[in-house]
Amino acid sequence: MLFLWIKALHIVSVVCWFAGLFYLPRLFVYHAQSQDSISQERFVIMERKLYRGIMLPAMIASLVFGIWLLSLTPGFMSQGWMHAKLTLVVLLIGYHHMCGAQLKRFARGENTRSHVFYRWFNEVPVLVLLAVVILVVVKPF
Protein backbone atom coordinates (compact mmCIF):
# COMPACT_ATOMS: atom_id res chain seq x y z
CA MET A 1 0.00 0.00 0.00
CA LEU A 2 2.88 2.38 0.79
CA PHE A 3 4.24 1.83 -2.71
CA LEU A 4 0.96 3.02 -4.27
CA TRP A 5 0.90 6.16 -2.09
CA ILE A 6 4.47 7.02 -3.07
CA LYS A 7 3.66 6.39 -6.72
CA ALA A 8 0.58 8.63 -6.53
CA LEU A 9 2.58 11.42 -4.87
CA HIS A 10 5.32 11.04 -7.48
CA ILE A 11 2.78 11.40 -10.30
CA VAL A 12 1.14 14.45 -8.68
CA SER A 13 4.49 16.16 -8.14
CA VAL A 14 5.57 15.42 -11.73
CA VAL A 15 2.30 16.90 -13.03
CA CYS A 16 2.87 20.05 -10.95
CA TRP A 17 6.48 20.31 -12.13
CA PHE A 18 5.49 19.96 -15.76
CA ALA A 19 2.74 22.54 -15.36
CA GLY A 20 5.44 25.01 -14.38
CA LEU A 21 7.80 23.84 -17.12
CA PHE A 22 5.04 24.44 -19.67
CA TYR A 23 3.93 27.80 -18.27
CA LEU A 24 7.21 29.56 -17.42
CA PRO A 25 8.55 29.59 -20.99
CA ARG A 26 5.12 30.84 -22.12
CA LEU A 27 5.53 33.72 -19.67
CA PHE A 28 8.96 34.31 -21.24
CA VAL A 29 7.24 34.63 -24.65
CA TYR A 30 4.93 37.34 -23.34
CA HIS A 31 7.71 38.99 -21.32
CA ALA A 32 9.94 39.21 -24.41
CA GLN A 33 7.07 40.87 -26.29
CA SER A 34 6.24 43.38 -23.56
CA GLN A 35 7.31 46.97 -24.06
CA ASP A 36 6.22 48.89 -20.96
CA SER A 37 7.97 48.72 -17.59
CA ILE A 38 4.78 47.90 -15.66
CA SER A 39 4.24 44.72 -17.71
CA GLN A 40 7.89 43.77 -17.48
CA GLU A 41 7.89 44.16 -13.69
CA ARG A 42 4.69 42.11 -13.45
CA PHE A 43 6.24 39.31 -15.51
CA VAL A 44 9.36 39.28 -13.31
CA ILE A 45 7.17 38.76 -10.23
CA MET A 46 5.00 36.10 -11.89
CA GLU A 47 8.03 34.21 -13.19
CA ARG A 48 9.81 34.30 -9.82
CA LYS A 49 6.74 33.11 -7.90
CA LEU A 50 6.09 30.29 -10.37
CA TYR A 51 9.71 29.14 -10.30
CA ARG A 52 10.30 29.34 -6.56
CA GLY A 53 6.81 28.59 -5.28
CA ILE A 54 5.71 25.80 -7.60
CA MET A 55 8.41 24.51 -9.91
CA LEU A 56 11.27 24.10 -7.44
CA PRO A 57 9.23 22.35 -4.72
CA ALA A 58 7.55 20.14 -7.35
CA MET A 59 10.91 19.19 -8.87
CA ILE A 60 12.32 18.30 -5.44
CA ALA A 61 9.21 16.27 -4.56
CA SER A 62 9.37 14.47 -7.93
CA LEU A 63 12.97 13.51 -7.31
CA VAL A 64 12.39 12.44 -3.70
CA PHE A 65 9.39 10.27 -4.54
CA GLY A 66 11.07 8.92 -7.68
CA ILE A 67 14.20 7.90 -5.78
CA TRP A 68 12.02 6.37 -3.08
CA LEU A 69 10.15 4.33 -5.71
CA LEU A 70 13.43 3.16 -7.20
CA SER A 71 14.66 2.07 -3.79
CA LEU A 72 11.53 -0.07 -3.44
CA THR A 73 11.91 -1.56 -6.95
CA PRO A 74 15.68 -1.90 -7.51
CA GLY A 75 15.10 -4.35 -10.38
CA PHE A 76 14.05 -1.43 -12.60
CA MET A 77 17.66 -0.23 -12.59
CA SER A 78 18.65 -3.22 -14.70
CA GLN A 79 16.20 -2.28 -17.46
CA GLY A 80 17.13 -0.10 -20.41
CA TRP A 81 13.94 1.96 -20.42
CA MET A 82 14.71 3.15 -16.88
CA HIS A 83 18.20 4.28 -17.90
CA ALA A 84 16.68 6.21 -20.80
CA LYS A 85 14.04 7.74 -18.51
CA LEU A 86 16.63 8.79 -15.93
CA THR A 87 18.75 10.35 -18.68
CA LEU A 88 15.73 12.40 -19.74
CA VAL A 89 15.10 13.37 -16.10
CA VAL A 90 18.68 14.67 -15.84
CA LEU A 91 18.17 16.67 -19.05
CA LEU A 92 14.89 18.00 -17.66
CA ILE A 93 16.64 19.14 -14.49
CA GLY A 94 19.10 20.99 -16.73
CA TYR A 95 16.21 22.58 -18.62
CA HIS A 96 14.65 23.58 -15.30
CA HIS A 97 17.87 25.34 -14.30
CA MET A 98 18.15 26.98 -17.74
CA CYS A 99 14.69 28.43 -17.07
CA GLY A 100 15.95 29.71 -13.70
CA ALA A 101 18.96 31.35 -15.35
CA GLN A 102 16.74 32.98 -17.96
CA LEU A 103 14.39 34.20 -15.24
CA LYS A 104 17.35 35.99 -13.63
CA ARG A 105 18.34 37.57 -16.97
CA PHE A 106 14.82 38.92 -17.39
CA ALA A 107 14.85 40.26 -13.81
CA ARG A 108 18.12 42.13 -14.54
CA GLY A 109 16.75 43.44 -17.84
CA GLU A 110 19.36 41.48 -19.81
CA ASN A 111 17.20 39.32 -22.07
CA THR A 112 18.63 39.16 -25.60
CA ARG A 113 16.29 36.56 -27.07
CA SER A 114 13.08 37.07 -29.03
CA HIS A 115 9.64 35.73 -28.31
CA VAL A 116 10.13 33.32 -31.24
CA PHE A 117 13.06 31.68 -29.43
CA TYR A 118 10.90 31.14 -26.36
CA ARG A 119 8.07 29.66 -28.45
CA TRP A 120 10.49 26.95 -29.59
CA PHE A 121 12.13 26.67 -26.16
CA ASN A 122 8.64 25.98 -24.77
CA GLU A 123 8.39 22.77 -26.82
CA VAL A 124 11.31 20.99 -25.11
CA PRO A 125 9.37 19.75 -22.05
CA VAL A 126 6.55 18.52 -24.32
CA LEU A 127 8.99 16.24 -26.16
CA VAL A 128 10.56 15.03 -22.91
CA LEU A 129 7.15 14.28 -21.39
CA LEU A 130 6.10 12.35 -24.47
CA ALA A 131 9.27 10.25 -24.38
CA VAL A 132 9.11 9.60 -20.62
CA VAL A 133 5.46 8.50 -20.71
CA ILE A 134 6.15 6.13 -23.61
CA LEU A 135 9.20 4.70 -21.83
CA VAL A 136 7.32 4.13 -18.56
CA VAL A 137 4.12 2.73 -20.06
CA VAL A 138 5.43 0.76 -23.06
CA LYS A 139 8.86 -0.20 -21.62
CA PRO A 140 10.21 -0.73 -25.14
CA PHE A 141 13.60 -2.10 -24.02
What is the DSSP track for 27-65? HHHHHHH--SHHHHHHHHHHHHHHIIIIIHHHHHHHHHH
Q: How many Å apart are CA 39 and CA 26, to the nearest integer?
A: 15
Which residues sit in the known binding site? 10, 85
Which residues sit in the known binding site for heme? 10, 85
